Amino acid sequence: MSRVIAIAGKGGTGKTTIAALFIRSLVKSGKRPVLAVDADPDTNLPAALGLCAEKTLATIGGTREDFFAHRDQVPAGMPKEAWLEMQLAQALVESREIDLMVMGRPEGPGCYCYINNMLRKYLESLGKNYPFVVIDNEAGLEHLSRRTAQAVDTLVLVSDYSLNGLRAAERVRDLASEMKLQVGRVLLVVNRAPDELSAQFTSALASNGIELAGRVPVDPLVPEFEIAARTVMELPDGSPAVRAMEQIAETVLAM
């Protein structure tokens, strides 16, 4: 049975880095293979994981748009569901420990209910082949709200060291509740946190009502590796961010 973990938060909090670090922790601890789903239109997860092959240009969004535009040109005798599934399978980037699915751009004009229903079924079926599915979501939870992703066991909300970040995390939690999404547990991760938190931030953290999974400290290696075009997977085991995420991963999986 697969475990589905979705990462969300406002832009600039480092949620893609957190998602990549979480995937790194899973892989290093032998919890693999992992299906990584990049559900953010900015599409930064492939680079963070070192899966930047040309094949990542083939996205679910592109496949969906192509199907929407040419749904009457499906080969004779082939069910539309089978044709779409074949196209989606070609968009999957496979590696030894991590497979990657890129959602791509959001929907264009028109009704996508039929396509999204087939897409949801495909992703649910695909996810069952992996012990862990990690979704790097956009802040608005669009793919979750449109039911193009399966039920989520744990929703990890990422905040930076700011009150705006905490408020954004609360809004995402409330949004998930309002949409009645199938979310088992909601946790908070504070990214780029200093060694000592201010009294104001500590008070806001205690009152926001989201269970704290842990803090990831400021780690100069993370931006250094990004500038050098090196991946999160290459960070040394002694990196402060890596060590913190290993502990957070244990908390996320302890349920």
**94-108, 127-141, 217-231: least confident range:** 94-108
Q: Which residues pair with 214 in a beta bridge?
A: 189
pTM: 0.86
Give the model confidence (pLDDT) of 45-55 as tens digits. Answer: 999 999 864 54
CATH of the domain at 98: 3.40.50.300
Among residues 156, 138, 106, the alpha carbon closest in space to that of 11 is found at 138
pLDDT score at 19: 97
Note down the domain range covering 160. 3-253
Residue 56 has pLDDT above 60, yes or no: no
Please count the structural domains in the chain.
1
Give the model confidence (pLDDT) of 213-239 as tens digits. Answer: 999 999 999 999 999 999 999 999 999
Q: How confident is the model at residue 144 (pLDDT cuts 50, 70, 90)?
A: low
Who's near 127: CB < 8 A, 6+ residues apart?
2, 4, 35, 133, 150
Round the average pLDDT of the chain to a whole number and report it: 84
Pairing of strands 132-137, 152-159: unpaired
Which string of b and e fits 218-243 if b means at least 16 CB within 10 Å?
ebebbeebeeeeebbbebeeebebbe
pLDDT score at 40: 79
Ramachandran region, residue 101 (left: φ > 0; alpha: ψ -120 to 50; beta: rest): beta
Residue 163 has pLDDT above 70, yes or no: yes
Among residues 99, 124, 245, 255, the alpha carbon closest in space to that of 185 is found at 255
